[in-house]
Amino acid sequence: MMNTAILPSETYARKAQRILTANGYPSELVRFTSPREGCRFGLRVVGKPEEIQDILRNAGIPVKAFGNERDAI
């Protein structure tokens, strides 16, 4: 299942991407723009949402939103 994690900055997104790749979850860095919230960065990743969120949480990566792309944005 394709999930999207919205992160607070590009730096966190790149760090999260390295951590997820090291744990067997390749991901794609994406940039979202919205008139209300401006520019945000996220990762599209395939895998079990609970496992992905646990990996990021244990690495100290703050996730602003997580879910399928429509839910996360």
- Do 64 and 6 touch, CB atoms closer than 8 A? yes
**Start-end of H helices in 1-73:** 10-22, 49-58, 69-72
Render pLDDT for 6-26 as a digit per residue (tens, 0 to 9).
998 999 999 999 999 999 999
pTM attached to this predicted model: 0.84
pLDDT score for 30:
93
Q: Would you kindly state where each structural domain of the chain is located, as residue ranges?
A: 2-72
- Do 7 and 43 touch, CB atoms closer than 8 A? yes
Render pLDDT for 35-48 as a digit per residue (tens, 0 to 9).
777 778 999 999 98
15: phi then psi, degrees, rounded to nearest 5: -65, -45
Percent of the chain with pLDDT over 90: 66
Superfamily of domain 2-72: ACT domain (3.30.70.260)
